[in-house]
Structures are given as structure tokens and as C-alpha cells.
Amino acid sequence: MPKAKDTAESEHGTLSGAPLAEYSAEMALHPAALGAPEGQGPAPDRHQAILEAAKQVGSLLKRQGHCFAVAGSVAVHAHGGSGRLQNDADFCVRREDADAVAATLNEAGLSVVEPPEDWLWKAKCLGQDIDLLFELAHEPVTSEVLGRAVELPVDSVHMPVLAATDLVWSLLASFSEHHCDFGAVLPIARALREKVDWERVREDCSGAPMPEAFLYLLERLQVIAPASGT
């Protein structure tokens, strides 16, 4: 894996020969680009900042022909879900492609680092966190998962986004006794319910108590129909 650059240039990066630092400075001069009212200075809009970072990274990966898919809250947004983006932009890549993806980002001036966790690498773009995920809910990102991705606009840039079924499955399959936030996933399930193959989600989550409890809750709330045969 390429070493992260410890320079001002690597912190901000470049894209298509133009420093991303210049792009970031331009946005600061135009607060409306981040949702700030005109005349009130560059009040940061984290939601739009994350979208801008996702667009930059997605454009880089598309341009170099990498196989990837947007995941996480940015994927929910692309599928039509509501809510503000608060944390980072997630991109699914196969582990065997990680070095090539990191090289592309490093060549554009984005620093890529390998954290202690062995299922992702991290990067920075326009000051926002970027996660390169090799696993979803402890399952490896595969060619099949990426092949099911759908082309959707992330703000104004079209790029592959995890299929709604894979996206919702990844959220439910992540539930455990230590992490089980039904409240955060419920509005996502409501927003994406028409796009999800719920029978496949049930099959893939069969026997896992937390996901099954959440599916039962969705049935009781009439978000989804009961399982066939019940």
C-alpha cells in the first residue's frame, strides 16, 4: 500500500491536475455551495461537504476504471432516503483492488492510511473522512455485490451505488447485542422499502435474532408485508 504523504498537498489533494485545496478554498469563498446563507460567511454544512467529498472520490475511481460501489449514508441518500449526512462517505471495494484504489487516490494527492482494523482503509478528501470498505457486516465485498450496484446520481455525479437490498441487508446484518440501533435504520427501511427484496433479506438474516426482531417490527408497523406462508 502506498505510504500516506505527510504534506500540506496530501492533506488537501489534487484532482485532474488542479489542487483540491484550491477547490476547497473556492467553496469557502462561496458559502452557498455548502448551504450557508449569502452574506453570513462560510458556515459549514456537513451534509453537503460529505457529498462533495464523495463526488470527488467517486469521480476519481470512475475515471480510472475501478470497480466500486458507494455504501453507507451516502448510498441511502442516493436511493432517495432522507436525513443529514453526519460522519463520512463509504466506498465498497474488493480487498484485492485496495492497493490500486489507494494508488489512484494517493496520485491525486489524497492521503490513504491503514488503520488497526483489517476490514477498511481510510482517506481524507476536502477535510471529510472517506472509508474504503473491504467487508460489509463481516462479509467480504465481492464481484457479485459490486455487480448488483446501480448507477445513481450522488448529488450531481452518477456512480455505482450499492443495490437497496444489499444496503439494507448490510445494516440489519450488522445488528448485535452491542450495536442494535433500530431507530436509525427504521426510517431507511421505510424510505427504501419498495426497492428492497425483503424475502432475500429474510433469507440472508435467517437465524440472527436482532435482524429477525427488526423484520418483525417492520411487519408490525406495516412497513413490509409478513413473510410468505405466515
Q: List pLDDT tens digits, range 52-109.
A: 999 999 999 999 999 999 999 999 999 999 777 878 999 999 999 999 999 999 999 9
What is the predicted pLDDT for the residue at 84? 79
Q: What is the pLDDT of residue 104?
A: 97
pLDDT at 203 over 80: yes
Q: Specify the pLDDT at position 43.
A: 42
- Report the distance separating Cα 214 and Cα 209, nearest Å: 9
- Give the CA dihedral 114, 117, 121, 126, nearest 10 degrees: -90
At 52, give phi and psi (nearest 5°): -65, -40
* Biggest CA-to-CA distance, the chain: 61
Q: What is the pLDDT of residue 229?
A: 66
Which sign does the torsion angle of CA 120, 122, 126, 127 carry?
Answer: positive
Residue 170 has pLDDT above 50, yes or no: yes
C-alpha to C-alpha distance for 151 and 209, rounded to whole angstroms: 33
Q: Give 230's pLDDT tier (boundaries 50, 70, 90).
A: low
CA 108 to chain centre: 20
Binned at pLDDT 50, 70 and 90, residue 222 comes out as very high
Report the alpha-carbon distance of residue 33 to residue 41 in Å, rounded: 11
Short-list 106, 103, 89, CA closest to 9: 106
pLDDT in tens, 96-155: 999 999 999 999 999 999 999 999 999 999 999 999 999 999 999 999 999 999 999 999
- Predicted pLDDT of residue 19: 43
For residue range 8-41, what is the model confidence (pLDDT) as tens digits?
A: 333 334 343 444 433 333 333 233 333 334 444 4
**For the chain, what is the mean pLDDT?**
85
Residue with cell 464523495: 54
pTM of the predicted structure, to 2 decimals? 0.80
Query: pLDDT at position 159, please?
Result: 98
Mean pLDDT of the 164-188 span: 95
